[in-house]
Structures are given as structure tokens and as C-alpha cells.
Amino acid sequence: MREHDFGRRLTQELSTPQTDSQRHLEAMVQVSRALGTIMDMGQLIPAILKQVTHTFCADRSSLFLYDSENDQLCAQVAEGLDEQRTMELRLPADQGIVGQVFQTHENRLIADTWKDPHFAKRVAKATGYVPRSMMVCPVFHGIHNVTGVIQVLHSDSDHFHETDMGLLEAIAVQIAISLENAQLYEKQKRQFSSFVRAFSTALDARDPSTQEHSLNVANLAQGIGYHLGLDFHVLDRLRVAGLLHDVGKIGTPEAILKKPSKLDPDEFAIMKEHAAYSLQILSQIEFADEYKDLAMIASLHHEKLDGSGYPFGHTADALNIETRILAVADIYHAMTQDRVYRNGMPMAKAFDIINDMTPHQLDGDCVRALKQFLGYPNQLAA
């Protein structure tokens, strides 16, 4: 054998494993980068399937999660299915190839599904897609518990190889970590939301005449934000700010909160202090990044664009869109809500007053959006 032929063959033998390892490393970096920052479960699962499908040049992928209540494996998304035919796939946890992998905790690399007795032909018929080759891998929660199964499909037989199976197994670990983080994040969000609702309800209960005021302000603020085209994260921040905007009333004397007649100037001056108290109280809470500036937003709901509001007398330049929305939502609901010393105004009368305050005190875009949300004729004075 010639020396250069031997050298070329040796180079090929040495470079092939390295090339596979490098490809796997690059794939893992891409998957980790794509999934590492996604905490919302609704966004995470489609991202997982997109990355897995792309990595293996597959037709589609499915992530089955275990539903312990019904003892089923459920795939909420199947990458590659016609978007007009999106469906939820539910399989008994002990049937089919997916069920087998879930039960045994062992990977399956199937060169030809037509020759496998566990292949669920009825599922293929239901989706309108018949795979010929398949990789299926358990997704572990902890060491021994399986939380789901990742399935990768292609219409050609022998499309996947053992090296692909090893890579999928490594990716499944990353999927498990991402799912666990997202589930923990969702649990924390639910806990936070329940705390905010309970705190808001307790505060409103101090003044029977304003019960559910905070909830209504939160709903109105979200409705305004929706019609202004704000994204989900801003709408969620508006909801929380609306629920907590009157937290400062915890420092207002009950005699003032429950007075059955209109407040005199001195009493009203004390009542106005609740906005500053809201800032003081909420500033002590370490909110997550998505609720950054929540304390300031919630405490400025009585500010006006011309500087005539309180507690700081800020003008338009210092009031962002969320603060402006909350101001409109709060004043509208305060005017239309029944109080001990007066009945709530009809919608038309409330908007007459709001129109007179716009645009020098209230934001015109926010007022128009509120009218859209409530279905009120949008005839705003210039």
C-alpha cells in the first residue's frame, strides 16, 4: 500500500469520530441556546420540536408528556402537521412504540416502522402521515421517573443511525431540564398571582364600598392595553399593577375609608397619601424582572399629564404608557362605582367628564382604547 493512501485512510478514520462529536457538540450548543431562555411552557414545547426536527433533518417531531390523571401520553404539538389540522394526540401510556419506551425507559431506534409490531398504524392514519423510520427516547424527571417521550420521525426508512440516537439521548436531558425549569416557573407565577389576588381582595375588603375596585381596574387596564396593541408581557404587568395600585390604603385610617359622606379637605389630603404609601410598600418587594418598575407604575395612577395630579405632580414626560393607562382605568371605575355617599355615574356622564380632562390631563389614545373596550361611541373632543 502506498504511503499516501495509508495516510489518507488513517486521516479519514481519525476524522470521522471527531466530525460526529463536533456535529453533536454544535447541535447541543444550538439546542441549549434556543431552549435555555424560554420559561413559558406554551413557547417552550414548539421551540423544542423545531430544534429537534432541524437537528436530525426529520419530517417532524412530537413531545409526549405524561398525564397521570388519565394515564395517557399527550402530545399537544406535532411539528410538521398542517397548522390548519393541528390536533392533540392522546395515547394510552402502555400502548404503541411511545408507550413501550415510556414503560421500559429504553430508547428505540426503528429503521422500518412497517416491520415493528408496536407501530400504531391508527395514529398514523389519524394524522395523515406515515413514518418509515423513527427514534424514540424517554425524557426523565430526576433519575428514575419518566415525564414524557420525545419522538423523531422521517418518511424514509433507515434515515436515522446509532450516532443520532446518542445525540437525541443527550438532547433529551436538555429537554428535561428545560421542562422542569418551565414547570417551576409556571408554579411560581401561579403562586405569585394567587398572592396578588389575595392581597388585593384583603385590601378592598377594608372598604366595603370599593370591594373589587382593584380587580375591575386591572381588567379595564388590560382591555385598554389590548386595544393599544401592547404585548402579553405588558398586559400582564398592567394586571398586577391594577390589582396592587391601592395597596397604600393599608395606611389610611378606617374612619376616612369608611366615611359615609364626602371627605373634607383635610381628610382628602390624608386619603391622597395612599399613592405615596403604595410606592413605599411595593418598593420593598423584590419583583421578578418582568415586573420591573411595577412599584412606580402602580403608585402613579393619580398623576395627570399637566402635572396637576399626585403624589409627585409629574408631567407627561415622566408618565409612561402603563401609568397613563392605569390613570384612565382608575378614574373611570371610581366614577362609575357606587360609593356609600353617592351612586355610581352612568357611563355617558363619566365619559363627559373624562372627555373634558383629555388630552391635557388624560391620554387621548388610552381614553379611545377604553371606549373601544367598553363598546362606547368613540367621539372624543380634541
Quick one: pLDDT at residue 135? 92
CB 163 within 8 A of CB 187: no
Question: Model confidence over 310-349: pLDDT tens digits?
Answer: 999 999 999 999 999 999 999 999 999 877 777 889 999 9
Q: Which residues contact 369 (CB under 8 A, 6 or more apart)?
A: 223, 224, 225, 226, 227, 228, 325
In terms of phi and psi (left: phi > 0; alpha: psi -120 to 50; beta: otherwise), the region of 57 is: left
Q: Is 343 helix (H, G, I), strand (E, B) or coil?
A: coil
> Which residue type does 10 have?
L
The catalytic position among 125, 187, 249, 259 is 249
Question: Model confidence over 295-320: pLDDT tens digits?
Answer: 999 999 999 999 999 999 999 999 99
Give the DSSP per-residue string, 124-171.
HHHHT---SEEEEEEEEETTTEEEEEEEEEESSTT---HHHHHHHHHH
Q: Which stretches of the chain drop beneath a pLDDT of 50?
A: 1-18, 82-86, 380-382
Quick one: pLDDT at residue 227? 93
CB 301 within 8 A of CB 319: no
- The torsion angles phi and psi of 337, rounded to 5 degrees, stand at -90, 140
Q: Which residues contact 260 (CB under 8 A, 6 or more apart)?
A: 340, 341
Quick one: pLDDT at residue 247? 85
- The torsion angles phi and psi of 145, rounded to 5 degrees, stand at -90, 135
Nearest to 364 by CA among 341, 376, 353, 380: 380
CA separation (Å) from 280 to 196, 248, 301?
17, 8, 14
Nearest to 135 by CA among 106, 176, 115: 106
- The torsion angles phi and psi of 287, rounded to 5 degrees, stand at -75, 155
Domains in the chain, start-ordered, CATH in brackets? 3-183 (3.30.450.40), 206-374 (1.10.3210.10)
Q: Which residues contact 310 (CB under 8 A, 6 or more apart)?
A: 272, 275, 302, 303
Quick one: pLDDT at residue 50? 83
- Average confidence score pLDDT of the chain: 81
Max Cα distance, the chain (Å): 107
CB 332 within 8 A of CB 323: no
Strands 145-154 and 89-92: unpaired
Distance of CA 260 to the CA centre of its chain: 42
Give the integer Cα–Cα distance in Å for 235 and 324: 13
Q: Which residues contact 183 (CB under 8 A, 6 or more apart)?
A: 41
Quick one: pLDDT at residue 379? 55
CB 303 within 8 A of CB 276: no
Quick one: pLDDT at residue 366? 97
Active site residue 187: no
Beta bridge partners of 90: 74
Quick one: pLDDT at residue 123? 67
- The torsion angles phi and psi of 304, rounded to 5 degrees, stand at -125, 150
